Amino acid sequence: MGKLKIACLQFNPKLGDLDGNVRRADRILEESQAEALGIGLLVLPEMAFSGYNFPDQQAIKPFLEPTASGLTAEWAKRTAQRLGCWVVAGYPEIDTGEREPELPEIHYEENITPSEIPDDSVMAAGSTSPPSPPDPNIRAYNSALVVAPTPTPRVVGHYRKSHLYYTDYTWARENPAKTPFYTAVHPIASSSSSPDDTPPRQLNVALGICMDMNPYKFEAPYTDYEFGTHCRDSRADIIILPTAWLTLEVEKVFPHGFGIPQDHDEERDTVLEKMVEEVAGEAMEREEVRRKLEVEMQRERRAADWDTVRYWAGRLRPIWDGSEAEGDGEVSGDGEGEEGGERRRAVFVSCNRVGVEGDATYVGSSSVLEVETGRIRGLGSAGKGVEKLLVVEVDV
């Protein structure tokens, strides 16, 4: 086996601030000295530079990018060339092709209407009013692209999200492909720590986007494991999931607002002062209380949301469970399937974002997991409230 360095660029893009978000991503790469790390694969979040929670199609329309040729594609090609690595990034796509592709029925007015969307999901879209249906004449998708670095950086893979989240239905269409999800063979080079004569491995790469990990529309049976089954059946070596994974249990994940990244000192001071007022008493001076709260705030930011990481791992059950049976049985520790079947192994890469958009709070926790028959091993996770370039070296 060779070695591959995988990097997740977890950051806090601002809704609609394209230039600012590009600068933010570049700054994190620069501060991480990414050029010196020998990265082979760089993954960014879902809709990395536009932000995610647009309330409707009119709001997102100015930020839709032509298929594989807009701002995200150009940034990915430029970065792939500079770092000598493969790049995967999510973006909001508009298909401007003259030929009308074969499309499935748009399940908006028939199966999902604003009145049927839970209140917390409407709020997560940053709006207190129901979203308007998308224009049927606009072919827009929540997409991701794959860029290869050599010989000339170019887009070699493209995927449109199959399982849409509530917010997506306000502007995007489902993946029109008859076979959902993405798998392709890509010759991804080993990292610099591998011997110089190590040739690129032909790796089966599976690609999904965020909600693809969940049951379709949250209506399909939990045990269908649609994406996990696809990854198993396609014999994926690497599973990539750009995501904008949020929580509806903000107080549980971020007690008292601790751990949520604040971009400005004023925001941080507001949170701290509120807590100081609540807990400061005669036994402790205000400055001492503030100092301890600052330490606690940083600790919370650096901790991953392990419930989210465990959920991602659970949705990959078709890989780590040696049997084909449904249910929630325990994972055996001997590395063999229940029927002594074929041993499976894949590296799972989830790149999430952090921060807040309206009433949507993201949980970060970007992770690299080794998933094989009978075992799941965490190789690295970022905190739930930090901007960070998570770099993990894996066997491939």
In this predicted structure, the answer to whether residue 130 has a pLDDT above a threshold of 60 is: no
Pair 64, 176 in one domain: yes
Pair 290, 159 in one domain: no
Pair 314, 363 in one domain: yes
Does a structural domain hold residue 257? no
Q: Tell me the pairing of strands 41-43 and 86-94.
A: parallel
Pair 132, 278 in one domain: no
Does a structural domain hold residue 258? no
More confident residue, 221 or 137: 221
Whole-Å CA distances, 209 to 26, 78, 155, 163:
23, 23, 17, 8
Does a structural domain hold residue 28? yes
Pair 159, 284 in one domain: no
Diameter of the chain measured on Cα atoms: 73
Does a structural domain hold residue 342? yes
Pair 212, 269 in one domain: no
In this predicted structure, the answer to whether residue 180 has a pLDDT above a threshold of 90 is: no
Question: Tens digits of per-residue pLDDT, 306-356?
Answer: 999 999 999 999 999 975 534 343 333 333 444 456 789 999 999 999 999
Does a structural domain hold residue 260? no
In this predicted structure, the answer to whether residue 198 has a pLDDT above a threshold of 80 is: no
**3-state helix/strand/coil string of 122-155:** HHHCCCCCCCCCCCCCCCEEEEEEEEECCCCCEE
Pair 273, 335 in one domain: no
Q: Phi then psi for 135, rounded to 5 degrees?
A: -70, 120
The mean pLDDT of the chain is: 82
Domain that holds residue 368: 3-244+305-395
Q: How many domains does the chain have?
A: 2
Average pLDDT estimate for 81-103: 80
Share of the chain above pLDDT 90, in %: 62
Q: What is the pLDDT of residue 158?
A: 96
- Which pTM does this prediction carry? 0.82
CATH number assigned to the domain comprising residue 388: 3.60.110.10
Pair 194, 82 in one domain: yes
Lowest mean pLDDT across 103-107, 192-196, 364-368, 392-396: 103-107
